Amino acid sequence: MADSRKAIHAFLTPDSHEAWHEFAAEHGVSVSGLIEAIALDWADRREGDDYDLAEVDALSRQARRIDAGRRRRSRR
């Protein structure tokens, strides 16, 4: 059977990259496993309307700031 997984690729700051790997190592999991577990949790909560809206809003605001900063730097 062919592998049906799909890849995600991201450019992270060195601090963010290290944070993912440190968290994964401390908990005995891979970064891939961690990302997939988070995605499945979010999908389950979305389908059950069990989102913590404050958390979603905070993550979205932070992600927008990061994306905007990257766009500004790439135009220079």
Mean pLDDT value of segment 58-72? 92
28: left (phi over 0), alpha (psi -120 to 50) or beta: left
User: By C-alpha distance, which of 7, 61, 59, 2 is closest to 36?
Assistant: 7
Q: Report how far apart, in Å, the C-alpha atoms of 4 and of each of 1, 7, 9, 59 are.
A: 9, 10, 17, 29
Split at pLDDT 50, 70, 90, the class of 41 is: confident
CA distance 59 to 16: 14
Q: What is the pTM of this model?
A: 0.73
